[in-house]
Amino acid sequence: MEQPRILVVEDEQAIADTILYALRTDGMQAEHCTLGSAALARMRADAADLVILDVGLPDVNGFEVCRTLRTFCDVPVIFLTARHEEIDRIVGLEIGADDYVVKPFSPRELAARVRAILRRARGGAAPAPAATDSGFTHDADGARLAYRGRWLDLTRYEYLLLALLVAHPGRIYTRAQLMELVWQDALDTSDRTVDTHVKTLRAKLRDATPEGEGAERIRTHRGMGYSLDPMQA
Ligand code: CA
């Protein structure tokens, strides 16, 4: 099995160091951020398997970070808290945490909990797919695509069209090329076929992203055709 990748979000360096050490000793890959905003950017670009999240961060508190994270990703979250008053909120799971640890804590105990949660997550539903550089994940065997960790509900031609664009980010395809490559086995098509499918794909990408920014990933090049924006939004 691949080494699980854990993101540790903790602003106190000494605490972060002991956690990172414990996780790495336990055979896990561990990365570290000190800010909530950095953690979210990191997760959007390339999701870790589990997040250890301090509640008291310098920029955004851990609850807010978790709430935002939940809008695009189902990754397990373990909270670190220094205050017993915060436990009720965490335990109430109103913010979608999987577990919590109260400071001071044993880093080895934390590593053991991480292992337990990962086992549970792997035994359950299919894990949220890890995004590639473009934010898309392509499961060719299952003929499906995910954007930022969420599987998209696509029709056959929407899937074929998006898979082609995702395979070559930045490359411009003319309508004629798309018709030939994507609709080669279609019985009846019209000049509007490509445009119609781009429109429905954009709507689905918009709905799959918190600010609707996904819609902008498919770019129109006037008089030329369409491409996938290779840049992370
Ligand atoms: Ca802190």
Q: How far is the CA of 116 from the centre of ligand 1 (A)?
A: 24
Q: Which of 74-88, 117-131, 142-156, 210-224 ranks highest by mean pLDDT?
A: 210-224
Q: How far is the CA of 148 from the centre of ligand 1 (A)?
A: 27
Q: What does the pLDDT look like over 1-53, one tens digit per residue?
A: 578 999 999 999 999 999 999 999 999 999 999 999 999 999 999 999 999 99
Percent of the chain predicted with pLDDT > 90? 46
Structural domains in the chain, sorted by start: 5-122 (3.40.50.2300), 130-228 (1.10.10.10)
Q: What does the pLDDT look like over 124-177, one tens digit per residue?
A: 544 445 556 788 888 877 788 888 888 888 888 899 999 999 988 899 999 988
Q: How far is the CA of 52 from the centre of ligand 1 (A)?
A: 12
Q: How far is the CA of 99 from the centre of ligand 1 (A)?
A: 17
Q: How far is the CA of 69 from the centre of ligand 1 (A)?
A: 18
Helix (H) or strand (E) holding 146: strand 144-147
Q: Return the pLDDT at 125.
A: 46
In this structure, how many other beta carbons lie within 10 angstroms of the beta carbon of residue 110?
21
pTM: 0.53
CA distance 49 to 54: 17
